[in-house]
Chains A and B, each alone.
Chain A
Amino acid sequence: MRKIIPFVLSLLFISSYRLASQNKYTISGYVKDVKSGEQLIGATLVVKELPATGTTANAYGFYSLTLPEGKYTLSAQFTGYQTKPEVIELNKSTKLDFALSDAETELNEVVVTDEKRDQNITQTQMGMDKLDIQQIKNIPVIFGEKDVLKTLQLLPGVKSAGDGSSGFYVRGGNTSQNLILLDEATVYNASHLLGFFSVFNSDAIKDVTLYKGTHPAEFGGRLSSVLDIKMKDGNDQKFHVSGGIGIIASRLALEGPIKKGRGSFLLAARRTYADAVLKAITTNPELKHISLYFYDINLKASYRLNDKNRVYLSGYFGKDDLGTSSNFGLNYGNATGTFRLNHLFSDKLFSNTSLIFTNYDYKITTSFGANSLDIISRIQDYGLKQDFQYFLNAKNKIKFGLSSTWHKLIPGSITTDSNSPLSKRGVPNKYALENAIYISHEVKATDKFSFEYGARLTSFSLFGPGTFYTYNAVDSLTDSAKYTQSQIVKTYINLQPRAAFNYILNAKSSIKGNYARNTQYMHLLQNTTSGNPTDLWIPSSNNVKPELCDQVSVGYFRNFLDNMFETSIETYYKQMQNQIDYVNGAQLTLNANVESQLLYGIGRAYGVELFIKKKYGRFNGWLGYTLSRTERKINGINNDTWYAATQDITHYLTAVGIFEINKKWTASANFIYYTGNAVTFPSGKYEVNGQVVFYYTERNGYRMPAYNRLDIGFTYQAKKTEKFESSWNFSCYNAYGRENPYSITFQVNPNNPQQTQAVLTYLFRWVPSVTYNFRF
Chain B
Amino acid sequence: MKKIIQQLSVINYQLHVYCLLFIVTCCLSSCTKVINIDLNSANPDIVVDAEVTDSATSYTVNLTQTVNFSDNNVFPAVDGAIVIISDNAGNSNILTETVQGSGNYVTSNLRGVDGRTYYLSILSKGQKYTATSTMPYGVPLDSVIADTGSTQHHGGGFGGGGYGGGSTAPSVTVRAVFTDPKGIVNYYRLIEYVNNVPNYNTISIISDQGQDGSQISENVVRRDTSIHTGDTVKVILESIDANVYEYYRTLKQVTKAQTGIQTTVPGNPTTNLTNNALGFFSAYAVRSKYVIAP
Q: Which residues of A line the B interface, CB within 8 A?
A: 164, 193-194, 248, 274, 277-278, 281-282, 284, 286-290, 292, 322, 324-328, 330, 364, 366-370, 373, 375, 414, 421-423, 425, 475, 526-530, 532, 534, 581-587, 589-592, 646, 680-697, 699, 701-702, 737, 739, 742-748, 753-767
Partner of B8, one of A375, A421, A753: A375
- Neighbouring A residues of B263 by C-beta, 8 Å: 527-528
Query: Is B250 touching A585 in the complex (CB atoms < 8 A)?
Result: yes
Kindly list chain A residues whose C-beta atoms are within 8 Å of the C-beta of B39. 681-683, 702, 758
Footprint of A on B, CB under 8 Å?
Answer: 1, 3-5, 7-12, 14-15, 18-23, 25-29, 31-37, 39-42, 44-45, 47, 49, 64-69, 71-75, 147, 149, 151-152, 154-159, 162, 173, 200-201, 210-211, 217, 219, 246, 249-255, 257-270, 278-280
A328-B158, A373-B7 known; A687 and B64 CB under 8 Å? yes
Task: Select which of A375, A685, A744 is within 8 A of B35 by beta carbon.
Answer: A744
B276 CB, nearest partner CB in chain A, Å: 10
Min distance, Cβ A647 to any Cβ of chain B, angstroms: 10
Specify the chain B residue showing the minimal Cβ separation from A370: B151
Q: How far is the CB of B21 from chain A (nearest CB, A)?
A: 7
Which residues of chain B have C-beta atoms less than 8 A from A646's C-beta?
A: 264
Quick check: B27 and A763 within 8 Å, CB to CB?
yes
18 more contacts with CB within 8 A, not counting A326-B156, A583-B270, A695-B45, are A289-B156, A324-B156, A324-B158, A330-B11, A373-B4, A528-B262, A585-B250, A585-B252, A585-B265, A680-B267, A690-B200, A691-B201, A693-B251, A693-B254, A696-B266, A743-B260, A758-B36, A759-B35
CA distance A529 to B265 in the complex (A): 10
Contact A527-B73, Cβ < 8 Å, known A684-B67, A691-B255: no
B4 lies within 8 A of A757 (CB): no
B267 shortest CB reach to chain A, Å: 3
Whether the Cβ atoms of B210 and A425 lie closer than 8 Å is yes
State which of A585, A748, A763 has its C-beta within 8 Å of the C-beta of B31. A763
Q: What are 24 contact pairs spanning A and B, CB under 8 A? A: A286-B156, A286-B157, A328-B11, A364-B8, A529-B262, A646-B264, A680-B266, A681-B37, A682-B266, A683-B40, A686-B45, A686-B65, A687-B73, A688-B279, A695-B268, A696-B266, A743-B260, A754-B74, A758-B36, A759-B33, A763-B31, A764-B23, A766-B28, A767-B27
Do B200 and A687 have beta carbons less than 8 Å apart?
no
CB-defined contacts of B18 to chain A, threshold 8 Å? 290, 322
Distance in angstroms from B68 CB to nearest chain A CB is: 6
A682–B257 CA distance with the chains assembled, in angstroms:
11
Do B279 and A756 touch across chains, with their CB atoms under 8 A apart? no
Q: Is the CB of A326 within 8 A of B26?
A: no
Given A754-B72, A755-B72, decide whether A763 and B210 contact each other with a Cβ distance below 8 A: no
Smallest CB gap from B191: residue in A: A689
CB-contact partner of B69 in A373, A528, A756, under 8 A: A756
CA distance A284 to B157 in the complex (A): 12
- In the complex, chain A residues whose CB is within 8 Å of the CB of B49: 688-689
Nearest A residue to B65 via CB reads A686
A692 CB contacts on chain B under 8 angstroms: 73
Q: Which residues of A contact B219 (CB under 8 A)?
A: 368-369
Contact A589 B36 (CB under 8 A): no
Q: Are the C-beta atoms of B200 and A697 separated by less than 8 Å?
A: no
By the criterion CB–CB under 8 Å, are A747 and B23 in contact?
no
CB-based contact A686/B20 at 8 Å:
no
Interface centre among B19, B173, B217 (most CB of A within 10 A): B19
Verify B69–A739 contact, CB threshold 8 A. no
The residue on A at minimum CB distance from B253 is: A585
From A278, A327, A686, A746, name the one whose CB has the most chain B CB atoms within 10 angstroms: A686
Set B210, B253, B266: member contacting A423, Cβ < 8 A: B210
| Residue of B23, B219, B249 contacting most chain A CB atoms (<10 Å) | B23
> Main secondary structure on chain B at its contact with chain A?
mixed
CB distance from B220 to the nearest CB of A (A): 13
User: Given the complex, which residues of A lie within 8 Å of B201, measured CB to CB?
Assistant: 691
Structural contact, B37 and A330, CB atoms closer than 8 A: no
B73 nearest in chain A by CB position: A754
Question: Is B265 in contact with A586, judged by CB distance below 8 angstroms?
Answer: yes
Cβ of B280 and Cβ of A688 under 8 Å apart? Answer: yes
- Which listed residue (B217, B264, B267) contacts A528, Cβ 8 A? B264
- CA A688 – CA B34 in complex, angstroms? 25
A581 CB contacts on chain B under 8 angstroms: 265
**Counting chain A CB atoms within 10 Å of each CB, which of B41, B156, B255 scores highest?**
B156
Please tell me if the beta carbons of B1 and A592 are within 8 angstroms of each other in the complex.
Answer: yes
Q: Are A368 and B34 in contact (CB under 8 A)?
A: no
CA separation between A680 and B217, bound complex, in Å? 37
The answer to whether A686 and B64 touch (CB under 8 A), given A423-B1, A584-B270, is yes
The one of A278, A748, A765 in contact with B28, judged by C-beta atoms closer than 8 angstroms, is A765
Bound CA span A757–B69, Å: 8
A688 to B281, CA, bound (A): 11
Q: Which 6 A-B pairs have the closest CB atoms?
A: A584-B267, A585-B250, A324-B156, A585-B253, A743-B262, A683-B42
- Cα distance, A765 to B32, chains bound together (Å): 12
In the bound assembly, the distance between CA atoms of A292 and B158 in angstroms comes to 14
In the complex, what residue of chain A is closest to B47 when comparing beta carbons?
A686
Q: Whole-angstrom distance from the CB of A752 to the nearest CB of chain B?
A: 9
> Inside 8 A of A585's CB, which chain B residues have their CB?
249-254, 265, 267, 269-270
Interface contact A763-B23, CB-CB below 8 Å: yes
Known A526-B264, A680-B266; contact A292-B157, beta-carbon cutoff 8 A: no
A527 touches B265 (CB 8 A): yes
Residue of B nearest to A282 (CB): B25
- Given known pairs A422-B3, A755-B72, the reply for A747 and B259 (CB within 8 Å) is yes
Name the A residues within 8 Å of B279 (CB-CB). Answer: 686, 688
Give, as a whole number of angstroms, the nearest-CB distance from A574 to chain B: 21
B residues near A421, Cβ cutoff 8 Å: 217
- Name the one of A373, A760, A766 contacting B32, with C-beta atoms under 8 angstroms: A760
Residues of B within 8 A of A584 (CB): 250, 253-254, 265-270
User: Which listed residue (B5, B15, B19, B267) contacts A590, Cβ 8 A?
Assistant: B5
Chain B residue contacts of A281, Cβ below 8 A: 25
Chain B residues with CB under 8 Å of A745's CB are 257-262
Q: Is the CB–CB distance between B27 and A683 below 8 Å?
A: no
A582, B25: Cβ atoms closer than 8 Å: no
Quote the shortest CB–CB distance from A753 to chain B (angstroms).
7
Chain B's closest residue to A756 (CB) is B69
- Provide the residues of chain A in CB contact with B266, threshold 8 Å: 584, 680, 682, 694, 696
Asked if A759 and B68 make an inter-chain contact with CB atoms under 8 angstroms apart, the answer reads: no
- Cβ of B68 and Cβ of A684 under 8 Å apart? yes
A760 and chain B: residue at smallest CB distance = B35
A164 to B47, CA, bound (A): 38
B71 contact set on A, CB distance < 8 A: 685
CA distance A734 to B14 in the complex (A): 27
Given contacts A423-B3, A688-B47, A754-B73, contact A326 B210 (CB under 8 A): no
Shortest beta-carbon distance from B13 to chain A in Å: 10
Nearest-neighbour CB distance to chain B for A623, whole angstroms, equals: 29
In the bound complex, how far is the Cα of B279 from the Cα of A277, in angstroms?
Answer: 48
Q: Give the Cβ gap from A417 to chain B, nearest Cβ, in Å.
A: 13
What's the nearest-Cβ distance from chain A to residue B243, in Å? 10
In the assembly, what is the distance between CA of A475 and CA of B269, in Å?
14
Chain B hits for A422, CB < 8 A: 3-4, 7
Chain A residues whose CB sits within 8 angstroms of the CB of B22 once the complex forms: 193, 274, 278, 292
